Amino acid sequence: MLRDLSPPAVYMGLLAAFVGYSASFAIVLAGITAMGASEAQAATGLFFATIGMGVGSIWLPAVTRIPAAVAWSTPGAAFLAATSALVGGFGEAVGALMCCGALIVVTGFVPALGRIVSAIPKPIANALLAGVLLKLCFAPAVALGSIPLLVLPVLLAWLIGLIWNRLAAMPLAVIAFLVVLYFAVDTSPAALPTDTSWLPNLTPAAPIFTLQSVFSIALPLYLVTMAGQNIPGFAVLELNSYSVQRQPLLRKTGIVSLLIAPFGAIPVNMSAITAAMMAGEDAGRDPKTRYWAAIISGIAYVLLAFAAGFVTTLANLAPAALITAVAGLALIPALVSAISAAFSDPKQVEAPALTFLIAASGMSLFGVSGAFWAVIVGAIVWGAKNLSR
């Protein structure tokens, strides 16, 4: 196994970890915080989400010998960030996260459940994803109107990165964010909390299980994770000519998600964007050795997890609008891709349009979030129109 390790795999694994973490840590923090987590609970959730991502990225490639990298559910975090906090507080959200992890595990054992998810028309699934992402994607524009001097340097760095290399856009934006934080926010030792440390004080939350949280959080989070991350992640590996056994991979990511959920961590799933980096020729000439890139990224994630306390403290020092602006910038490519796929069939635009609008509206019915109803309404309209044709 060690004979397969190569410098290109090490370089690409480290680069993928840096891109993956810097592009979405703000989204993860926004999602956990929106569910009612305290600063300590948010830091704990970020720690275990990063640990889960790291362990999964080491475990799966080592077993399968393919670059089966694992990422946290960025669309899932965006969904949580755009959803109202539950009545039961963060404990109820933790119960929903555990239910979502259990659903992923069950999907790994029951192929029929995976087929049901795959049977959801792709335009409907993409419209749901677009609706979930839309609210957070407004954040850069909203922040530009309220704190322009803080947001403009971040936007400029993001644009420079986008012109230079698409993958460099978010890392440069995060670097600009840190520079803005240094000059515009009081980060002196006197302003920092006295208990600031790299590793957070691990603070689990007692789970509360309710039927409302299952339909409002667990099911939509499961659908967004499956449709927005797992299915594209499998497709990336297959496009690079790797043989993928989906059920065992779903079982493993589901088990990791279930184990980290009691600590407020969002689910983990198959990576798509960073997996594409590690499955290509840049990670090594021999496709059979590229799995080492995913393992290296996993090791890097485990190390990054121990900075969760420091990262959360810095995020809390910054204006909330600036943090959500950074998160929104990271989601713009996913939003554009989802909208394009949602309306790709000119004969079926009403169903994805209703799905998108309901998911984006933030409405709730009978205490159940709009994301759930968006899929139901979209599927009904889609089926009815097909029957009429």
Identify the pLDDT of residue 6. 81
Arithmetic mean of pLDDT, 195-222: 81
| pLDDT band of 346, cuts 50, 70, 90 | confident
Identify the pLDDT of residue 103. 93
| pLDDT band of 252, cuts 50, 70, 90 | very high
Higher-pLDDT residue of 84 and 194 is 84
SS (H, E, C) the chain: CHHHCCHHHHHHHHHHHHHHHHHHHHHHHHHHHHCCCCHHHHHHHHHHHHHHHHHHHHHHHHHHCCCCCEEECHHHHHHHHCCCCCCCHHHHHHHHHHHHHHHHHHHHHCHHHHHHHHHCCHHHHHHHHHHHHHHHHCHHHHHHHHCHHHHHHHHHHHHHHHHHCHHHHHHHHHHHHHHHHHHHCCCCCCCCCCCCCCCCCCCCCCCCCCHHHHHHHHHHHHHHHHHHHHHHHHHHHHHCCCCCCHHHHHHHHHHHHHHHHHHCCCCEEECCHHHHHHHCHHHCCCHHHCHHHHHHHHHHHHHHHCCHHHHHHHHHHCCHHHHHHHHHHHHHHHHHHHHHHHCCCCCCCHHHHHHHHHHHHCCEECCEEHHHHHHHHHHHHHHHHHHHC
Arithmetic mean of pLDDT, 166-175: 82
Burial class of residue 226, CB neighbours in 10 A (0-12, 13-18, 19+): buried
Residues in the chain: 389
Q: Is the pLDDT of residue 186 over 70?
A: no
Identify the pLDDT of residue 345. 82
Instruction: Tell me the per-residue pLDDT of 15-74, one tens digit each, with 9 for 90 and over.
Output: 888 878 877 888 888 899 988 888 889 989 999 999 999 999 999 999 999 999 999 888
Instruction: Tell me the per-residue pLDDT of 255-271, one tens digit each, with 9 for 90 and over.
Output: 999 999 999 999 999 98
Identify the pLDDT of residue 265. 92
Mean pLDDT, the chain, whole residue set: 85
Q: Is the pLDDT of residue 187 over 70?
A: no
Identify the pLDDT of residue 111. 84
Arithmetic mean of pLDDT, 295-313: 89
Q: Is the pLDDT of residue 197 over 70?
A: no
Arithmetic mean of pLDDT, 173-188: 78
Least confident of 102-106, 136-140, 150-154: 136-140
Identify the pLDDT of residue 198. 63
Q: Is the distance from CB of 198 to CB of 307 less than 8 angstroms?
A: yes
Q: Parse the chain into domains and list their residue ranges.
A: 2-388
Identify the pLDDT of residue 189. 58
Arithmetic mean of pLDDT, 232-247: 84
| pLDDT band of 310, cuts 50, 70, 90 | confident
Instruction: Determine the straight-line distance between the first and last CA of the chain, rounded to whole angstroms.
Output: 56
Q: Is the pLDDT of residue 160 over 70?
A: yes
| pLDDT band of 81, cuts 50, 70, 90 | confident
Identify the pLDDT of residue 48. 94
